[in-house]
Structure 1
Amino acid sequence: MTKVYEKEIVALILYASIFFIILAIVIILFFYFSRKKIIQKELEKKDLEIQHQRDQLRAVIITQEEERKRIAQDLHDDISSKLNVVSLNSHLLKTPNLTDNEIVEITGNIIGITAKALESTRRIAHDLLPPVLDKFGLDAGIEEMCLEFNSSKAVQVNYENRVVFNESDKDKHLHVFRIIQELMNNSLRHGKATIITILFEEINNQIICNYSDNGFGFDMKDRKHQSGLGMKNIETRIDFLNGTILFDSAVNKGVKVLMKF
């Protein structure tokens, strides 16, 4: 009986050992594949982040190139052509036997065209960095931009600011200005909006911008509205601000934007 009992104990220990070995293997395999799956998901997430950063960088580069092309075209078509006319009129002054009236006329042409060239130069410089924004801050810069849009008579812009912006954050403010500028251009150009409302306020030490228009709006499910160059440009600037931006829109329902930074 003792030997039989011992054999049963040995068998029980053996089976228990085998059971715990199998259980240990199962647990090890479970943690191995779970960890592998977690690592795979992390890698996929990292790949998405890298791709997102690449898309943002591409958007920045394309935006810069488009801006350079626009400036080059303005310089060539506007400034260069005017200076050519000034040059031709200047050479005319060397023509012998000019009458006083001819000299006055040529000189007047030179002065008038030079004034137009200077005005065009100021406009190009203003587009690159609005002087009001640089000298007086974000509030004044946006207010001036709203006045310019209002002066077109195509849209009514209602702007209200309840925030005192920190003057030391001028670099950040330029990004905010460009985002608002992009939103307003989209509202007017694509949305055909007639009313735009902009409100800045501070809640829980965070600056919030509520933006809305009464334009055509768009289908939020349509991916093409989220992958455009303008949207990529906005997302890139929001990242620079460490902020967030949320869009709410529907066809024929206008656009609402909530921006925090």
Structure 2
Amino acid sequence: MTTIAQAPPAAAAVRAIGEAAHGTGAISLAEVNERAELLARFDRSYLVPVDIYLRMVERLTDPRRPGGPFRALAIDGRRTFRYHSVYYDTPGLRSFHDHRQGRRLRFKIRERVYQDSGERQFEIKLKGRRGDTVKHRAPLTGEDTPLDGHFRTFLADTLHHAYGIDSPATLHPSLSTDYLRATLVADGERITCDAGLVCEDLRAGRTVRCDTGLVLVETKTAGHLTEADLLLHSYGVRPAVFTKYCGAFAALRPALPANRWRRAARRAFDAGS
């Protein structure tokens, strides 16, 4: 079983997402799934300094906002949530290299653990024909692992149906991530706000930590630029070529050909490693 890394003591970004989540109204998980589940969506990633993040949130959660303010996901009174993910890849890191080469038929495979509730999900993330992200999920229970036969069949069926390709013959745990997340929601759009990111290379045993003054923001929508995107652009923050999986490997394994993520990875991890 993978050891879950411990997050560093509360830092600026951790405090900021907590303040943001508790500074607006609450929305239940059932209502999020009804109004903005977005299993097929466009994601845009940003590395946002805390001061700019708080300015953006102040605008989005303003009660005078047309259509009403963004609200924070709340479950059992909690508004920030601990996430642990384990990514699976081939011995040659096929998933990493397919993303590096921009292949359309690419995928990521992971186990996601919602640490506060204990819920576990096996997730397969694919690229749709429009370049959108399409997520397929199956619950994990008890001693289940993504390498069990039932889940290997689920993976094979998903890849065959979506892409017409075979599932990898061999998969191993490759990377783990741990972080704290707050989620802000309005009709048809979601913003995830992550802080305290810790990534561990499960083969080499090396770890990197994100800069404690950065919030990792992802906007998620069915298509067009969101209000959050436009606000961040107006503050001079542009989308980052960054994913937790590929960005972490760019930082953890300098010998990998990871130039497309190197700049963002240096910004995300160098000060915090």
Q: TM-score, length-normalised on structure 2?
A: 0.23
- Structure with more contact order per residue of length (Cα contacts < 8 Å, sep ≥ 6): 2
Which has the higher Rg, Structure 1 or Structure 2? Answer: 1
Relative to its length, the structure with more strand (as a share) is: 2
Relative to its length, the structure with more helix (as a share) is: 1
Q: TM-score, length-normalised on structure 1?
A: 0.23
